[in-house]
Chains A and B, each alone.
Chain A
Amino acid sequence: MIGNILISVAFIGAVFSGIMYFLNYRGYQNTLNYARIAFHTMATSTILASVFLLYLILTHQFQYKYVYSYSDTSLPLGLLISTFYAGQEGSFLLWALWMAIIGVILQQYTSVRGDLEPRVMAVYSLVQSFLLLMITPVVKNPFALIYSEPFMASASTINTQFLHLPFLADYIFSDRATGQMYVKIDKTLVDALKSAGIGLNDFIINGRGLNPLLHSFWMQIHPPILFVGFAAMSVPFAFAFAALIKNDYKEWIKQAFPWILFVSMVLGLGIMLGGYWAYGVLGWGGYWAWDPVENSSLIPWIIAVAAIHTMLVQKKTANENSIGAFAKTNLVLVILSFVLVLYSTFLTRSGILGDASVHSFVDPGYFAYLLLLIFMGTFIGLGAALLIYRWKYLQQITPAQNNLFSREFALFTGSVVLGASALVTFLGTSAPIFGKSVQIQFYNDMNLPLGILIGLINGFSLLVKWKESDGKELLRKSVFSLISASVLTLIMFFAGVKDFKMVLFAFASAFAFFVNAEIAFKILRRNFEKTGAYISHMGLAILFIGVIASSKYDKSVDVNLVKNEPADVLGYKLVFTGYSPTEDGKYSFNILIEKDGKKYKAAPIMYYSEFNQGVMREPDIVPFVTKDIYISPISYDDGTSTSSSQGTTLQIKKGETVKYGESEIEFVSFNFPTDAMQKMMSGQDFEIGVKLIVKNYGSKYEVEPKYGLRSGEKINEPIKIKDANIQISLVSMSADQDLVTLSVAPYSIDVNNEAPKKEVLAITASIKPFVGLVWLGTVVVVAGFFIAMIRRLKESRN
């Protein structure tokens, strides 16, 4: 109840504040206060609703469907908190929560900067209204009670002391396929429990739990950071939209600038944290798989970064007489980056990518699907309509950009290339909508030349001057970087980077690095606050070099490690020393790695997950400065499996005869006592067999190999016929197909004598050179964004 009320109040508050802000903008002075009160009511309710959900999770209120579906009592605190956003409902609430918190800051920010507040906050409230609508009680309600619709709860989550209650019998079901027992929880059961004096929270004492794939440190930080990025993306959008409403395009650039830097920093960080999660824990083998879910958050990031560059030009070229160059481009890019966030949400939550992505999606239901479409459609429609409406005027006031040889044009070219890269990724990611799918090669082939261009433009754009530049000066300034980059490229060439396009990419990245490093170094002391752009460009160049080295030049082999037997793998000596249980109930497989007398340890993890009904695997990484040794487990064989390698397997149909050596074996009939099945199921002793006739040089033997349980011990003794030099044992039988499978061997061979136990661990071992540069590059990029954001925040005050 409380949750539903809070969400509803928040939703009404958002809608009301949006309307009041808009009216205030249209000249109604007295509505400003209402708008602010409504907005803060919305923010408070959203925050309280989040606190309430967290409270329900922490206190294990399993009568709530969301709490039941994603958490259980065994989770440690950090993971328990992260179940807040493990499902659709909660992640929308998290998004709305960040929107509320950012909104409060934004309200303060806009209220001290001219007449911004009513316009910007009206748009922002509209966005928030849609988000809150998604989680109102009628759509994806995080506070739905478990019995709101009949719900099948696993019997293992129910308090056993109540399972024997007579009226419960009507509610217990079993799944024939898995043998699992379920309790159907609906309104009538809840009423029955109530009249028996049993609280629902005492009845359901555990939840389904969190998917083990998400049991990770990264689950605790990657999604929240990504959602901050998603939420913050609506701020630049609100500024751009507000500019269109007022038909005034100069101020918004300066005011939105720190925000779009913030968005790019946070979203970029969130994306790469996801990459690290995939690489280090989920065992995808790399940090980037061009998975649609990864792509869908990368696309808006690229567009936002493109917008930063053209916004900078507009800011630089604006003066009293002019709004500055690329005013239209900036509006389009900023609106597009927000719309693409919505598109990303649509792709990942509508279930439309079900066949195409490793991330698993639950179809949200028709209503939510439609609402997502309307959400996205509304903002695409509004953005496009307003742009078209203002286009003619914008055309008149935007100054033409004349000089090709200027930083303005270089930055624009950079944005165009970024846009092209976003388009490539967009096209590939959207293909599943049309029932198609692209191979990873598509992204790599198309983005590589664009990457080369980005590296080169990154460098040159900083060497050319604003307005106009001359060639000689450009050449003089680039000498250092060109030479340094050539040297570095040569080094990489001899280290193995031989592919022509990769050499170009390496050169372009190295060039960008040195140009930025030189400038950053020069201004570091005097003008530290201006180093942001150079630092993030350096970071990108470092990241690119990491990508070249790690993705294109990694070495990988599959090996079987026999316990305690050293194996030579990629120049290292690997010894599998056995497995040991970990604290959280998994198994780590310990491997000693040795080279040049130095020893390292790796312990990849495998375990059987009840939740996923399958073996889960986690890699382990031994990081060095120049490379990572990446070990992913494949399988483990403890050597006890009874593969009868010495026997021949025969399949015989009832009534048919098969030749084996000098003998003929006829399958006469099954000996399957009627009560055997029941005994087998209940674990009592039983015996089943098949009647065979073996003929050998005129002799005839009637035999019956058997399979069963005798005083709890499995029996499966082979039938031995010395004179016919044959032994036969029963492998399996299929009564409905009248088929029996036998293992047949010559008499003298001792089939039961197993080879000595050999424990074998199969792994994929890879060496990934310089993968650390990818992470270092990310950190540097983020640091650069941060410095730039602080600088632009100061500027936005004037």
Chain B
Amino acid sequence: MKTRYYIGGAIILVFLGLLFYNFTQTNIEYESDFTKVMQSGKVCKASGVWVKEKSYQENIEDRTFVFYLKDAKNNEMKVVYKGTKPNNFEIATNVVVTGKFENGYFHATDVLTKCPSKYEGQNLNTSGS
């Protein structure tokens, strides 16, 4: 009777151990400070604002989408995304890119655009017309 509980307990412990090991191995941190992103070289989710002045490039040949992001401290970072320009890119208030910084630019595997919510934040100038 008792051995059964021990075996069951052991299996559960092994499972939980594996679970947390895997969790820590695959989890990605959010990072909003680009100096840290550039130094660490680890896979992370970096969020920032698109640098409109530098526009973006879409290369059809090698299927890349290149743009610049800046963080709150105005640190700029070049982002190369293997894919096409995501929807809502131009109107996004915030861009979250997943990937890592290597060889002078951020290799993004995913780009998520956060858009202004539907009714708020229209950010109108109140000069009237």
Contacts and interface: CB of A to CB of B under 8 A. Distances in A.
B104 interface: no
Give the interface centre of B29, B47, B60 by most chain A CB atoms within 10 Å. B60
**A: contact size bracket:** 35 or more
B27 A436 contact: yes
Given A173-B126, A614-B89, A634-B84, A151 B119 contact: yes
Interface stretch (A134-142, A175-183, A673-681): A175-183
Contacts of A170: 128
B28 A637 contact: no
Interface in B95-129: 96, 112, 114-115, 117-119, 122-126, 128-129
A616 B23 contact: no
B126 A355 contact: no
A439 interface: yes
Interface string B1-34: 0001000000000010011001101111110000
Contacts of B23: 427-428, 431, 438, 442
Interface stretch (A5-13, A357-365, A485-493, A660-668): A357-365
B128 A435 contact: no
A69 interface: yes
Contact of B63 (A173, A614, A616, A634): A634
B60 A762 contact: yes
B95 to A, nearest CB: 11
B22 A355 contact: no
Contact of B22 (A172, A431, A442, A634): A442
Interface in A612-640: 612-616, 634-635, 637
A424 interface: yes
Interface in B36-62: 43, 45, 47, 58, 60
Determine the main DSSP class of B at the interface with A: loop
Contacts of A609: 87
Contacts of B122: 152, 175, 182
Contacts of B74: none
Contacts, number: 110
Given A614-B90, A615-B87, A437 B126 contact: no
B88 A355 contact: no
A438 B87 contact: no
A363 B117 contact: yes
B91 interface: yes
A563 to B, nearest CB: 15
A325 B90 CA distance: 59
Interface string A295-337: 0000000000000000000000000000000000000000000
Interface string A156-198: 0000000000000110111111100110000000000000000
Nearest to A172: B129
Contacts of B29: 435-437
8 contacts: A355-B47, A362-B117, A362-B119, A363-B117, A420-B15, A436-B29, A436-B30, A614-B87
Interface of A: 69, 151-152, 169-170, 172-178, 181-182, 208, 354-355, 358, 360, 362-363, 404, 420, 423-424, 427-428, 431, 435-439, 441-442, 445-446, 558, 560, 609, 612-616, 634-635, 637, 760, 762
The 9 closest A-B pairs by CB, nearest first: A442-B26, A614-B87, A439-B26, A362-B117, A173-B124, A436-B27, A613-B91, A437-B28, A634-B84
Interface of B: 4, 15, 18-19, 22-23, 25-30, 43, 45, 47, 58, 60, 63, 84-91, 96, 112, 114-115, 117-119, 122-126, 128-129
